Chains A and B, each alone.
Chain A
Amino acid sequence: QKEVEQNSGPLSVPEGAIASLNCTYSDRGSQSFFWYRQYSGKSPELIMSIYSNGDKEDGRFTAQLNKASQYVSLLIRDSQPSDSATYLCAVRKDTNAGKSTFGDGTTLTVKP
C-alpha cells in the first residue's frame, strides 16, 4: 500500500463546476497536509496547507481534513480553465527533518 494515495484520475469538470480531489494516507502520525498544483512542464506550487480536522478555505479553494478517516480533500469551486493542472497531495510528520511524502497526483481538466 502506498503511503499517500490519490484519485487515479484524470478528472474532467465543466467550467463553473466544483472539482473534488481526494487523498488518503496510511501513517497516523502525519500532522501536516498540503496540496500543490503543478502545471504541465512546471514545478509544483503550494496552494493549501491544513493541520487540524475540519475545513480551511482560501478563495475558491477549500481543504478538508479528517484524521480519524486519514482523509484529505481539496474542493475547487467555480472551476476555471486555468485550474487545469495536476494536483499533488503531500503529508508530513512534523519532525525536524520535515520531509513530505507525495501522492502520484490527480490531473484535472476544466472544460470551457
Chain B
Amino acid sequence: NAGVTQTPKFQVLKTGQSMTLQCAQDMNHNSMYWYRQDPGMGLRLIYYSASEGTTDKGEVPNGYNVSRLNKREFSLRLESAAPSQTSVYFCASRDRGPYGYTFGSGTRLTVV
C-alpha cells in the first residue's frame, strides 16, 4: 500500500543503548519530518528534511540525529537513549505545495 512505512512498531531499550528508527515513503514526496508525541500532548517536531540532501533541527532535537538517505528514506537515530525519550515517534511526509502531512503508523519506544 502506498504511504509512509515506519519500522519498528515497538521497541524497548535500556538507558544508554542506541537505535535507529526507519521511515520510508513511496509517494515521491519532497519533505519528510520526525515528530514525537507524549501522553496528552500534541506533536513536537524533532527534525525535518525539506528536500533530499537537507536536514534541519526542529523544536526538540537534543539527543537525536537524522539522515536523509535518499528521497524515499529518512531515519532517526538515538545515540544514547534516555528515559525522557520514551514516546511515540511519527514520521510524516508531504508533497510540494500547501498540502498536509501523511503520517506513518508510529514507533512506540520505551526506554528503561
Contacts and interface: CB of A to CB of B under 8 A. Distances in A.
B71 to A, nearest CB: 15
Interface string B77-112: 000000000000010001000111111111000000
A68 B27 CA distance: 35
Contact of B90 (A44, A96, A99): A44
B45 A99 contact: yes
Interface residues of B, number: 25
B98 A94 contact: yes
B53 interface: no
A97 B103 contact: no
B98 A32 contact: yes
B50 interface: yes
A88 B50 contact: no
A103 B42 contact: yes
A72 to B, nearest CB: 13
Interface residues of A, number: 25
B48 interface: yes
B2 interface: no
B26 to A, nearest CB: 16
Interface of B: 31, 33, 35, 40-45, 48, 50-51, 56, 58, 90, 94, 98-106
Given A42-B105, A44-B43, A105-B42, 11 more contacts: A34-B100, A36-B101, A43-B90, A43-B106, A44-B90, A46-B101, A90-B43, A98-B31, A99-B48, A100-B45, A103-B42
